[in-house]
Amino acid sequence: MSSDLWSFSLTTYARPGVEDACLQLQSAGVNVCLLLCGLWLGDRGVACNEQRLQLLRDVAEPWDADVVRPLRALRMQWKAVAKKDAELNTLREQVKTLELEAERHLLLRLERSAQSWPQYEVTDLTVWLEGVTAGAVHLDRDALHQLRVAATGT
């Protein structure tokens, strides 16, 4: 188990099926950084409650809205044209790198928010996964299940 959220996220995201599941859930409105944080906290045995979920949402939502999503939108906007324009493609790759760095900073903020929470209290990820995906439109339960299986091996 990775001790920090960034390392955990990189390791988890690289597992088979996780990237696809995360992208499907993201298209339904799930914040993937918040989702990975929920997996990390669940893996560490941190108990989930509404107060903790709300604190994490309060950290994630403004940064995601003001920093991550605008970078992602710009990167996606340039996708088709960049296939035919090498210079634009280079800029698009730089925006992609900046987007990933913004996500790393968000994960660091989430980790700092949760660092004092006691560990090894519970063993079920379900409450965290349901909590961080609450409010998603047309939530893909299969992707959520696939993510749980791929991320935990269970």
How many structural domains compose the chain?
1
pLDDT beyond 70 at 153: no
| Residue-wise pLDDT tens digits, 48-78 | 999 999 999 999 999 999 999 999 999 999 9
pLDDT of residue 2: 54
DSSP state of 125: -
Identify the domain containing residue 83 by its residue range.
Answer: 5-152
Nearest-10 Cα torsion for 65, 107, 59, 43: 130
| Residue-wise pLDDT tens digits, 86-109 | 999 999 999 999 999 999 999 999
Number of Cβ within 10 Å of residue 80's Cβ equals 9
| Residue-wise pLDDT tens digits, 107-132 | 999 999 999 999 999 988 889 999 99
| Residue-wise pLDDT tens digits, 13-32 | 999 999 999 999 999 999 99
Nearest Cα to Cα of residue 61 among 72, 69, 50: 69
